[in-house]
Amino acid sequence: MRPPQAIHNWQMDQKADLNLPEQKPQYVSAFRALSGYCREHLLGFIGVLVCTVVAILSELLQPYLMKIAIDDNLLAGRNDYGGLLVICAIYLGLSLSSFAFAYVQNNLLQHIGQNIVSSIRKRLFGHILKQSMSYFDRMSSGSLITHVSSDTEALNQLFNQVLLSLFRDGLTLLFILVMLFQLDTTLALYCLILLPVISLIAIAFRSFMRTTYQLARTRLSRMVAFVAENLSGMSLIQVFHQQKEQERQFDERNGLYFKANLREIRTNVVFGRTFDILSNLSIACVTWLGGMAVLGKNLEFGVLYAFITYIRQFFQPINTITQQWNTLQSATVAISRIWTVLDSKPDVEDKEAAEGDAAKPEFGTESRRERELEFARARGQIDFRNISFSYEEGLPILRNLNLHIAPGEQIGVVGSTGAGKSSLISLLCRFYDVNEGSIRIDGTDVRDIPQAKLHRMVGLVQQEPYLYSGSIIDNIRMFDETISREEAIAACEFVGADAMIRKLERGYDTLLSERGSGLSAGERQLVSFARIIVFKPQVLILDEASANLDSHTEQLIQRALHIVSQNRTTIVIAHRLSTIRQADRIIVMSAGQIVEQGTHEQLLRQGGHYRKLYEYSQRHVAV
């Protein structure tokens, strides 16, 4: 078997942390990937654009309206109260329209963004579920969780912040420039002298901010990985009293993240203030130059008023757009990472011929009656023919293995740790494909059987049966609506789990926490036996729990095994030899090969590996 899950997770997370590549944003490919989703919302985007233009125009026309009020009304010395009232009413109308259109634009863009992100998240999760087991050997669970949560969140920010800012602030800048030139070309040109200075500051800020931002993100992910590692290895920490040391290490990481965050905040404040100073400098210049022009009667006062108001509004959008740069970068990296996952193809796939068989219903959707008929027809004969297999090239795990299992036979598999027992089972379930040879069920190569059908035919009770958070009854039915509550309860009675479940406060409706941690290892095994019974597989595989069970639970499991193995081919990987004593045949494995086989008595008489294992287990029990 592989290393215990906690250590395995820890190793994978370490690998992921160490190998975290500094991914450069690939803007073109990232946005090409997104464009398909955006195209579906073309009308929505046009709506956003229209609303943005109307909202911005409504806002930017307000200073111009004030200019008209000042120059054509107040300073012109006309006592036109009616005209003034109309201007005030239009001003108010423009404010309302700016508010309303900005609201619609914001909501529409959020709606589109959330829609796209949610479909990408759905596709990503569905795609991960379709991957073969070899994929999960390569990818750490930590990085997959990051793809589904943080990376899609970064994408979310692309719509929430970047696109919103590009639409709103970009257009605002453009319209302000138009208004400035329309009011007074000379003054506008004077203002533009500052543009190269602004650009230089923005570029410097951008590169400084990028390092600061990346430092903060790296330190955050190290801290998160550290917490994840601690959670998965909690039992180890407690057993070795590592709390103080882990706390110290966490403090170290937390301190580093704190410093990186402060640096990020300081940089943002300095940049924001610099823009304020630039803005005030421009206002001073305009007041000086414009004021002289007004005094020399070359410029109307209203124009100067409007000019100053526009200059005030000019710097804000530049500031906001520059600040979005980092979000844009992290979103681009996130898109590339998401698409790398989406581009991966499962190593184990159904054959096209099997998939394209349109005449048959999709597996899993057939009725219970059809499933029962199929069960009755199947014989459950299994043939491993000359199979060889390795997880990594050059490290063979199974070598030239041959095994014929007759229909209905009960086989026990024993052998030392790492002999390849679980690997043999993983191949039969087609979690991996053999490198050489073939595995046949009732004469058909497992590669020619659609996986959904294969997994119905071959039922697996794992060493550590997985129970979902949810009620016990749902865990037995595996959320299959075609299985009634009565059938599920009958299955529990059949395997002897009923009494144990009824003792729980809410019986079959007891809600289990993550991985069924409210139940003991033996109780989880019993529930998974009941689960197998309702699904009626033709072949049953039991990877026996290696943990010590109390003798009562062990007896219950023995009984359950005896019941569920009736009339079906059964393979039991045994850690306690007592489990398989009665098996029709016992297979002894060593270093990826079958070294002995026979009944318990025959093998004892042979005096080989099995006898040694047996004598060892007897001594062990005696101690």
Chain positions contacting ligand ATP, by CB under 6 A: 1-2, 137, 391, 397, 415, 417-423
Q: Alpha-carbon distance 596 to 602, whole Å?
A: 10
DSSP code for 539: E
**Least distance (Å) between residue 571 CB and ligand ATP:** 12
Give the torsion through C-alpha atoms of 231, 422, 431, 466, to 10 deg. Answer: -40
**Least distance (Å) between residue 352 CB and ligand ATP:** 27
Q: Alpha-carbon distance 314 to 169, whole Å?
A: 9
The closest alpha carbon to 40, from 106, 111, 124, 122, belongs to 111
**Pairing outcome for strands 539-543 and 458-461:** parallel
Q: Please, which residue, 417 or 551, has the CB nearer to ligand ATP?
A: 417
Q: Alpha-carbon distance 279 to 317, whole Å?
A: 12
Q: Cβ(264)–Cβ(323) under 8 Å?
A: no
Which helix (DSSP H) or strand (DSSP E) does residue 450 occupy? none
Q: Alpha-carbon distance 469 to 553, whole Å?
A: 23
Q: Please, which residue, 1 or 215, has the CB nearer to ligand ATP?
A: 1
Q: Please, which residue, 35 or 417, has the CB nearer to ligand ATP?
A: 417
Q: Please, which residue, 2 or 562, has the CB nearer to ligand ATP?
A: 2
Q: Please, which residue, 417 or 566, has the CB nearer to ligand ATP?
A: 417
In this structure, which long-range contacts are made by residues 606-613, counting pairs with CB atoms below 8 Å and at least 24 apart in sequence? 609/415, 610/414, 610/586, 613/414, 613/416, 613/577, 613/588
Which tokens hold the place of 28?
Answer: 């073109």
**Least distance (Å) between residue 521 CB and ligand ATP:** 15
**Least distance (Å) between residue 492 CB and ligand ATP:** 28
Q: Please, which residue, 463 or 471, has the CB nearer to ligand ATP?
A: 463
Q: Please, which residue, 1 or 148, has the CB nearer to ligand ATP?
A: 1
**Least distance (Å) between residue 575 CB and ligand ATP:** 7
Q: Please, which residue, 219 or 421, has the CB nearer to ligand ATP?
A: 421
Which tokens hold the place of 244?
Answer: 């103080």
Q: Cβ(569)–Cβ(378) under 8 Å?
A: no
Q: Alpha-carbon distance 66 to 179, whole Å?
A: 14
**Least distance (Å) between residue 429 CB and ligand ATP:** 13
**Least distance (Å) between residue 3 CB and ligand ATP:** 7
**Least distance (Å) between residue 572 CB and ligand ATP:** 13
Count of other CB atoms within 10 angstroms of residue 167 = 21
**Least distance (Å) between residue 589 CB and ligand ATP:** 6
Q: Cβ(477)–Cβ(483) under 8 Å?
A: yes
**Least distance (Å) between residue 397 CB and ligand ATP:** 5
Q: Please, which residue, 290 or 465, has the CB nearer to ligand ATP?
A: 465
Q: Alpha-carbon distance 545 to 363, whole Å?
A: 30
Q: Please, which residue, 133 or 256, has the CB nearer to ligand ATP?
A: 133
**Least distance (Å) between residue 569 CB and ligand ATP:** 19
Q: Please, which residue, 431 or 508, has the CB nearer to ligand ATP?
A: 431
What contacts 531, CB < 8 A, 6 or more positions away? 475, 476, 478, 491
Computed from CA positions of residues 510, 512, 518, 519, in that sequence, does the dihedral angle turn out positive or negative?
positive
The closest alpha carbon to 489, from 524, 553, 525, 533, belongs to 533
Q: Please, which residue, 398 or 467, has the CB nearer to ligand ATP?
A: 398
Q: Please, which residue, 80 or 137, has the CB nearer to ligand ATP?
A: 137
**Least distance (Å) between residue 553 CB and ligand ATP:** 20
**Least distance (Å) between residue 147 CB and ligand ATP:** 21
Query: Which residue of this chain has its Cβ atom nearest to ligand ATP in the complex?
Result: 1
Specify the length of the chain in residues.
Answer: 623
**Pairing outcome for strands 470-471 and 410-415:** unpaired
DSSP code for 298: S
- For 120-174, give the DSSP string: HHHHHHHHHHHS-HHHHHHS-HHHHHHIIIIIHHHHHHIIIIIIHHHHHHHHHHH
Q: Alpha-carbon distance 510 to 609, whole Å?
A: 45
The closest alpha carbon to 434, from 444, 422, 446, 418, belongs to 446
Q: Please, which residue, 135 or 535, has the CB nearer to ligand ATP?
A: 135
Q: Alpha-carbon distance 298 to 202, whole Å?
A: 35
**Least distance (Å) between residue 487 CB and ligand ATP:** 33
Q: Give the three-class secondary structure for 349.
A: coil
Q: Please, which residue, 137 or 153, has the CB nearer to ligand ATP?
A: 137
